Amino acid sequence: MPRKPDFAFLLAHPAHFFALGCGSGLAPKAPGTFGTLFAWLSFALCRPYLEELPLLALLGAAYLGGIWFIEVTGKALGDPDHGSIVWDEIVPFWLVLLMTPATFFWQLAAFMLFRYFDITKPQPARYFDEHVKNGFGVMADDLVAAGYTLLTLALLKIVFA
């Protein structure tokens, strides 16, 4: 039976801290949405201090590290894709925000689209979600959601620009 994480679990291992989105994954309802909101807020706070290339390198490291964070935390919780694990929402949404116009309405559209694609899991996200039960699979399905989000935003920009 999967374990329900708490604050002590969050602080018990660095992988847990990151996998649970610095605590945002402990939200009692809709932890994926809270993780994505955390991503939006943390991106807004950090973006002014990072140029694009160092930020891309940081995103790459956060993505690769996320595979390990999620693997360790999923095993400790007894569920490789436990609802409280939200690092897989955070890093791909940071990528979306990096490529989204820096206005509230574009970022709000990005947030809503990302949550839609993360929840509905269009292929190949559904394949990763259903068949790749490890840190790689958990991170990959949200990266696919980020790709669908960016594609939809690009189409919206063409239509409304």
Close Cβ partners of 70 (under 8 Å, ≥ 6 residues apart): 19, 80, 81, 85, 87, 88, 134, 135, 138, 139
Close Cβ partners of 127 (under 8 Å, ≥ 6 residues apart): none
pLDDT, tens digit, for every residue of 18-74? Answer: 999 999 999 999 999 999 999 999 999 999 999 999 999 999 999 999 999 999 999
Asked if residue 87 lies in contact with residue 55, where contact means CB atoms within 8 angstroms, the answer is no
Asked if residue 60 lies in contact with residue 114, where contact means CB atoms within 8 angstroms, the answer is no
pLDDT, tens digit, for every residue of 73-116? Answer: 999 999 999 999 999 999 999 999 999 999 999 999 999 999 99
- Rounded to two decimals, the pTM is 0.94
